[in-house]
Amino acid sequence: MSVSDELPPFQRFLDGHRDAVWRFILSSVSRNEAEDCFQETFIAALRAYPRLRADSNLRAWVLTIAHRKALDAHRARARGAVPVADPAAVDGRSAPSAPARDEALWDAVGELPARQRSAVVLRYVADLPHRDIAAAIGCSEEAARRSLHEGLRRLRKVVPA
Partner 1 sequence: MNGRAINETRTIEEALRRGSQPRRSGSGEDMSSEREASFKEAREAAGRLAARVAAEGLIDVSYAIAESPFGPLLLATTRRGLVRVAFPEEDVDSVLEGLARGVSPRIVETPRPLDGVRRELDEYFTGRRREFELRLDWTLVGRFGRRVLRVTSEIPYGGVQSYGEVAADAGSPRGSRAAGNALGSNPIPIVIPCHRVLRAGGALGGYGGGVERKRWLLELEGAIASDR
**Distance from C-alpha of 156 to C-alpha of 133, rounded to nearest angstrom:** 21
User: Which of 125/134 has CB closer to partner 1?
Assistant: 125
Closest approach, Cβ 85 to partner 1, in A, equals: 18
**What percent of the residues of the chain are helix, what percent strand, and what percent coil, each to the nearest 5?**
65, 0, 35
In this structure, are residues 24 and 122 in contact, taking their beta carbons and an 8 Å threshold? yes
Q: How far apart are CA 12 and CA 9, in angstroms?
A: 5
Q: For 8-67, give the DSSP string.
A: PPHHHHHHHHHHHHHHHHHTTS-HHHHHHHHHHHHHHHHHHGGGS-TTS-HHHHHHHHHH
Taking the complex as a whole, the smallest distance from the CB of residue 70 to partner 1 amounts, in Å, to 15
Angle between helices 58-78 and 114-124 (to 10 degrees): 140
Min separation Cβ 82 and partner 1, Å? 19
Q: Compute φ and ψ for 10, nearest 5 degrees.
A: -55, -35
Q: Which is nearer to partner 1, 125 or 135 (CB)?
A: 125
> In this complex, which beta carbon is closest to partner 1, that of residue 28 or of residue 64?
28
Residues that bind partner 1 (CB under 8 A): 6-12, 14-15, 18-19, 21-23, 26-27, 35, 38-39, 42-43, 46-47, 49-50, 96-102, 105-106, 109, 120, 123-125, 127, 152, 155-156, 159, 161
CB of 79 to partner 1, least distance (A): 25
Q: How far is the CB of 77 from partner 1 (least distance, A)?
A: 20
**Is the CB of 137 or the CB of 148 nearer to partner 1?**
148
In the bound state with partner 1, the residue whose beta carbon lies nearer, of 23 and 68, is 23
